[in-house]
Structure 1
Amino acid sequence: MHFMEDESALAQNFSSISIEDVEPQQKEDTFDVDDRENQPNENVDENHQKSMNQEEAEQDDGLTSSPVKKKVARNEPHAPERPSAPRPVRRSASKALYPLLPKTKHHASTSKAQAQYLRYKLSLKNHLQELRLREASQRQHLERAFKSGEHMANVDKIRSRRFEQDVRLHRIAIGLEARNEEEKQLRHAMNHLLDLEKEKLREEHRLTTSMLKQIQKEHAEREQAMENFYANQIQLVKEQTRREAKERELVEKAQRSASEKMMRELRLDRENQLAALLQEKQHLEETRRFRHASQMTHLLEKTE
């Protein structure tokens, strides 16, 4: 790419040169010849400096360019060397440029330089086109190679992934078979244990039901016995209360008869006492009347 940039820059420099610029350059050639004769050491130093600068630029381009582009630059034909543009030197307008050449020779030299410049420009354009085409073809070739390498790498990755998946699936299948066998044995053992537990539970259920029936029977018998006991107790209490009531009635009757008898006896005693008192009172009254009568008679006798 740097090489192409240099070539494109060179083409731009040449395209920027016009025919009018060629003529003053040719006019100045005569004066430059005199200057070169007078100053040969300066031209040698300038050419040496230009060659050194060109070599440094090529080395910089070689260092910064990619290895693919370096290879392309090595294999490609060398472009025509860049002509060293002479330094523009200010000359006086009064000095004659072409004192010895007629106008026809001057026009022929300018047309020859223009034709040479056009040929060089055309060859440079063709060379740049060839470079672009070659670089595009090499880029396509590298892209194809890179894509094919990526494709092979992807194919290898896919194959390795599929192989790993197959191995994993095979291992999983083997593990599943072993696990299924273990699960089958475990299921058989669990079913056997479950049957034993069921039988044990049935036996416990039978025992518990028989015990519950026995307990219920005992409770029923106890309840019946308690009911009979309390019924008998109630009957006994009723009979006792009835007997006590009868006894109480008999006692009351006896007490009533005894009290009536006592009352009768007391009444008779009182009546007898009253009769005796009345008799005594009558006797006393009779004795008092008799005494009074006797006293009265005695008094009467005395008085007489």
Structure 2
Amino acid sequence: MAFHNPQRIARLVVDAGANKAVMSVPNTLVLGFLAGAFISLGFLLNIRVVANLPSEWGSFTSLLGGAVFPLGVILVVLAGGELLTGNMLALTMATLARRATLGQLSRNWLLVVVSNFVGALFVAYFFGHIVGLTGTGVFLTETVATAQEKVDHSFTQALISGIGCNWLVCLAIWMAYGADDISGKILAIWFPIMGFVTIGFQNVVANMFVIPAAIFAGHMSWVDYFSNFVPVLIGNAIGGSLFVAFMYGFVYRKEIRLVESHVNKVKSKVVDFKI
């Protein structure tokens, strides 16, 4: 399986972030909805797999759930989607390379967080609540227990957990850019995502599914949800932007500057031709 070295990955991530920065609003919203739904389907699969497993299996249950959850991120990367936690890497790298502005970064993140939320709510309400996939029997018990564990974290705990989560998620996205074929991308995504789920780190988009699913079933409240949303969002932003984008941006700053220089030269030639 062919793969790119980290220097090449840095350039690919910058290019991807620059394209995301200028994506139209309708396209961003549709792809954001899909990404939120895809991550929720991965979480729904997790719940359906682990809910019936015996308690004696202990942490092996978490491993099995973590093994199937990556479906969501695989769908986002291969089928296409705008995922907030992944864009915390790409848009930040593009901004560091001066291929995007802070305004474009903020615009993208805002559109994507809203559309991810709508996509997650869609799956939680229609598949989870209406169909009953998270609202009955052991599946309800697992959904509520998972959601309760997340909202029981203090602000600091949720924030730090969010850092760990998106550090791994953005490393998965980073490595996926390094693979040229589908099998390589799936392997690159699977291990880090499996790791963050098995460990129990908090992901803001995944929580958009599981906590509302518990709320639709009559447990917890929207106050509980938003009390969790804020620290996890901040933690995910730090994990993706600082621990991956800024650090790799610093290490491979020469490669990123080459990309910036090349783009400026191309723009200059276009202007000269028009004149």
Higher relative contact order (CA 8 A, sep 6+): 2
Output the TM-score relative to the length of structure 2. Answer: 0.24
Output the TM-score relative to the length of structure 1. Answer: 0.22
- Indicate the structure (1 or 2) with the bigger Cα radius of gyration: 1
